[in-house]
Amino acid sequence: MGVFSEHPYTSITTTLDQITALPKDQSDDVIESTIAELINSILISSTGQYEAARTIRKKLKYGSLNEHINALKVVDLIVGNGGPSLSQFYHDQKLIDRLRIDTRSPDKQVQRLAIRLIVGWKEHFEGEKAYAPLVQLFYSCKLSKSKRIVPDFMNDQVDQTPFEEYYEDEDVQSMITTESLPDEQIKTYHTNKELDRKFKIPKINYIAEKPRIQKLIAEAMSSATILKNSLETLKDGELSVDNDKCVIEFGKCRQIRRKVLRYLQLVDLEDLVGPLIHANEELVAALSKYEEKAADTDSLDEYEEFDEEEDVDESNDDLSEQTEIEDSLSKLDISHKKAPPPIPSKKPNPEPNNPFSDPFSDNHGVGGIVHDVHLPWKK
């Protein structure tokens, strides 16, 4: 009993073990349907909040990727439905630290989900004392808007030399003499051809260029299709800017579009202008889709974490670990620092006029309905 008295093991742990182990295709529905009963179990147990926090942080620290993701979802549902009565759970320092570590996770899926949860808590609960540690995570992790920007492909400069240029009016070459030019330019431009390139609009030799234009149109259509297909293969939560193949195909489409734009400036044959316009439209559609998938539709995914590489000792989970974590956190430059409310030493006695004193009160919002006010991990 000594071990169990130190670390309680009840139906709370059993339930958390079961729902975090669920496969991805089942987890969301089961977790949501179980969360109300789980929160009630946590509230009626004197050690429920400590036990839940400890079990969840173990999943975050030692669990598989699937357990890790599910544990984050459980935390979000507990926070969104537990109400202020779960203040002790929200103030569990080890759990808070695990969440902070997740914002630096090498796994992009874990990192993004953790960041999105923290940003969401900040937006929903800022100013509420019971949730102060969760809100403070936003500042201690130094979250800010991502500076990563997709290149503005709509303002790409045209390719100036996609073909061999020639000039119809050869007499113009003899009209431009060195007498009309400053001494500096006489020294710079040595041939009439160079002068024509500087002062005249080039013409297209359709006999030589038509096959190349047709080939370019085919390449444009193919590249646009490849980029679109690559974007369709992105995993859940994966951004286009993080996928090497998508980044490469995006660059190819931009390069081809520059040549297409150059031909559109000069080509005047109907049988080429129409296909060139269509090719440009397909490229723009593919490039725009890449841009859309560069950031999640949820604006919370535009945040990223700027890490100062604090060292946190993860070798054990006892009192010494707690001390080291607190020492590490004390060195952080935290803006808007607010002292969190004290952790209650024991569960307070129910008060007749306190709507949160009764764990079965409707005010807790756990009557079998999950309040979908946040849930950034939901599609």
The CATH number that applies at residue 96 is 1.25.40.90
In this prediction, what percent of the chain has a pLDDT beyond 90? Answer: 40
| 3-state DSSP helix/strand/coil % of the chain, to nearest 5 | 60, 0, 35
Q: What is the mean pLDDT of residues 337-348?
A: 50
Q: What is the mean pLDDT of residues 259-276?
A: 89
Neighbours of 201 (CB within 10 A): 10
Query: How sure is the predictor about 90, in pLDDT bands with cuts at 50, 70 and 90?
Result: very high
On whether both 85 and 16 belong to a single domain, the answer is yes
Q: What is the rounded distance in angstroms from the CA atom of residue 49 to the CA atom of residue 42?
A: 6
Boundary of a domain, candidates 294, 327, 346: 294
The answer to whether the Cα torsion of 259, 264, 268, 273 is positive or negative is positive
On whether both 7 and 114 belong to a single domain, the answer is yes
On whether both 11 and 39 belong to a single domain, the answer is yes
Say yes or no to pLDDT of 203 above 50. Answer: yes
Domain count, the chain: 2
| Least confident segment among 190-194, 309-313, 326-330 | 309-313
Say yes or no to pLDDT of 369 above 80. Answer: no
Highest mean pLDDT of the ranges 35-44, 198-207, 260-269: 35-44
Amino acid 140: pLDDT: 85
In a domain, 373, yes or no: no
The two tokens of residue 33 are 């349907």
8 Å CB contact between 276 and 158? no
pTM of the entire structure?
A: 0.46
On whether both 220 and 123 belong to a single domain, the answer is no
Q: What is the mean pLDDT of residues 352-372?
A: 48
CATH number of the domain where residue 251 is located = 1.20.58
Say yes or no to pLDDT of 138 above 50. Answer: yes
Q: What is the rounded distance in angstroms from the CA atom of residue 222 to the CA atom of residue 226?
A: 6
* Owning domain of residue 137: 2-146+302-364
Where do we find the tokens 């173990």? 58
Query: How sure is the predictor about 142, in pLDDT bands with cuts at 50, 70 and 90?
Result: confident
